[in-house]
Chain A
């Protein structure tokens, strides 16, 4: 077996694993969200399907599949179908460059626990995330419903504004690490040398922007049910609706993974050098990464079930007049410190 074939097989397995894990986690995030909401609201949450309701996501998926797949008569049919597809596709794409763990050597083979180590990894993420908004825009526009259109317009303008702040806060990280590759950035935060200690302001800006990018409350203007009924997915039903909702949960999962990688050291954990076996060290690292991700997911849900949402103009105000200047100042300060230390 030559090296290329092995490499291909390993990578294919990796793709399938991460694809499967992402889908599984996104599925169970719906359950988790409902349980967290129930916990915060003094309710029980789903508890009928299976013990503690853990089969609820499967029941939901079954329902989604068997619902009538309705396409409005006056909609742009092909675009109407394309919308959720794009949303789902881009949501799944970003998982490919996240380093899920350090290098492990197993059966004489060295595994990078990462599908692709692109040397412009961060640019790739920002790029793919911006394509994601097309799914919402196309879906909302093609529905031929004014509420959907409002949702789509809100979503696109919101994403465009918050991507800037997000990008600017990432630039400060890139300036510090000197690399655009996520793998390098994570590797540099070895042990407890996490970026959040150097970039607290950048982290806050990134967190807020990530909430906005995921269309999560308090930035869920694109689908705010009390104003726009369902926002961009008002006209969607069946698995197309499922795709939109699913994409949102995948995005949340990936955003939390990126926050953990960029600011909280990814798979790094304190005293990791005391674990001598690199395989064990790597496996603990992966577990730690998932722990961090779930913490942030919980934080996202906590925020969603606590805060009211912004109004459209206030959202723009926050994005353009507060976050972007702050991110610029942060970038400037980072540059000054780097220059001073040289």
Chain B
């Protein structure tokens, strides 16, 4: 706090720069922060001597809100964590509730979830890598890839009717089966996307200027990354092959063949390459899931959580009761505590849920990877130039919604 108090905009004189150390406020509203968070940098010329991150600019008290909401209503909160890959958050939460309630899903649901989650991962990584391009000054690749992300959003729209904050899926399955339009669009995507993606890749991956910019920018050693609690692409870029999908498979990920790419130096270039490769692997997974899509129902029989069909509600007494209970949020859940994590777009997204048997969680904690990455930011930015620091931030893919929850 001492720095905040010492800072007075009226005394933001130029003499401080003329001397040795200047304070530079990077954020909260700066074009490079991609959200609202602040870095108070101490700079000597362009070199960063120390960085002090501040958080909380869009804190919405989700964990507290969740204590007053029933289980189905919390899915909408998870949308707003990492809003670049909402479906992963949604399904992570649904699986957490299923784990606590002892619901097992069939293969069909698992495969459907895998398809949606991998699409979301592609969208998330596309945004991150395209934004690394933007922050180095290459805007065109960004527009190319946003077109692809747009297409992925159309796929989501086909499944759940929403695009960004999807609220996709239900506890116990999906609200409806994938329709034929979805399948045809997905096939078109799998056919056309790789070529367009490789075009984007060729704009940056071996571009001399881009490589000069990102190689060696914001590196982190594997042991430091582990001790901070890194996970996901940022940890893998540092050379640790930890992937929740492999280490602790959920939603039948063990059925699929895919590689876990790892980097060497943990710098911005490695993070970029790891994300690019993960996009290719995600495509592989989607293709396998599509080819091996089992027969079955798109929901399992969990009357307390999965909303009964409307015809049933009008016909049968039981369905009407469950309908009422679900809509009013009066489904009790067994007491207990459970931790479930999924490989989110950004890393291990965990849900720690404590239930005392009521209609709402007693306590819910989100393990938000961005929050963890952001703690390492001062260490990674120290000694770097301002340009590097900005690339470090965008390549770690710190999303304000997930950072602050």
Contact = CB atoms under 8 A, between A and B. Distances in A.
Contact of A308 (B14, B31, B143, B213): B213
Contact of B140 (A41, A74, A146, A224): A41
Nearest to B25: A146
A146 B11 CA distance: 12
Nearest to A154: B46
A314 B385 CA distance: 11
Contact of B137 (A141, A146, A218, A312): A218
A255 to B, nearest CB: 20
A334 B30 CA distance: 49
Interface in B1-30: 10, 12-14, 17, 22, 24, 30
Interface in A2-37: 37
B143 A225 contact: no
B136 A309 contact: yes
Contacts of B30: 229
A311 to B, nearest CB: 5
Interface residues of B, number: 34
A220 B139 CA distance: 13
Nearest to B209: A308
A227 B386 contact: yes
A42 B46 contact: no
A150 B12 CA distance: 14
A259 B143 CA distance: 31
Given A144-B14, A227-B387, A308 B140 contact: no
Interface string B37-64: 0000000001000000000000000000
A313 B138 contact: no
Interface in B347-405: 385-388, 390
Contacts of B22: 146
A313 B47 CA distance: 11
Nearest to B16: A146
A276 interface: no
A175 interface: no
A307 B134 contact: no
A310 B24 CA distance: 22
A307 B209 contact: yes
Contacts of A306: 138, 140, 203
B147 A42 contact: yes
A40 B140 CA distance: 7
Contacts of A217: 137
B32 interface: yes
A317 to B, nearest CB: 9
Given A42-B144, A226-B31, A227-B387, A308 B138 contact: yes
A220 B136 CA distance: 11
Nearest to A228: B386
B212 A314 contact: yes
B14 A149 contact: yes
Given A307-B209, A311-B388, A226 B134 contact: yes
Contact of A41 (B24, B133, B143, B385): B143
Contacts of B143: 41-43
Output the residue of A43, A229, A311 with the most chain B CB within 10 A.
A311
Contacts of A227: 32, 135, 386-387, 390
A224 B12 contact: no
B253 interface: no
Interface in B130-155: 133-140, 143-144, 147
Contacts of A314: 209, 212-213
A124 interface: no
B207 interface: yes
A294 interface: no
B213 A311 contact: yes
A305 interface: yes
Contacts of A146: 12, 17, 22, 24
B250 interface: no
Contacts of B213: 308-311, 314
A226 B32 contact: yes
B36 to A, nearest CB: 15
B14 A220 contact: no
B209 A309 contact: yes
Interface in B143-181: 143-144, 147
A306 B147 CA distance: 17
B12 A307 contact: no
B342 to A, nearest CB: 31
B204 interface: yes
Contacts of B136: 226, 308-309
A42 B135 CA distance: 20
A149 B138 contact: no
B267 to A, nearest CB: 14
B210 interface: yes
Interface string A284-317: 0000000000000000000001111111111000
B207 A308 contact: yes
A224 to B, nearest CB: 6
A153 to B, nearest CB: 8
A226 B390 contact: yes
Interface string B102-134: 000000000000000000000000000000011
A224 B137 CA distance: 8
Interface string B202-246: 011001011011000000000000000000000000000000000
B37 to A, nearest CB: 16
Contacts of B135: 226-227
B204 A150 contact: no
B317 to A, nearest CB: 56
List the 7 closest A-B pairs by CB distance, nearest first.
A309-B137, A308-B136, A41-B143, A308-B138, A226-B135, A308-B137, A311-B387
13 contacts: A37-B139, A149-B14, A218-B137, A218-B209, A226-B31, A226-B32, A226-B135, A305-B140, A306-B203, A308-B133, A309-B213, A311-B385, A314-B209
Given A41-B143, A226-B390, A229-B31, 12 more contacts: A74-B12, A150-B46, A224-B387, A225-B31, A226-B32, A226-B135, A307-B137, A307-B209, A308-B138, A308-B204, A308-B213, A309-B136
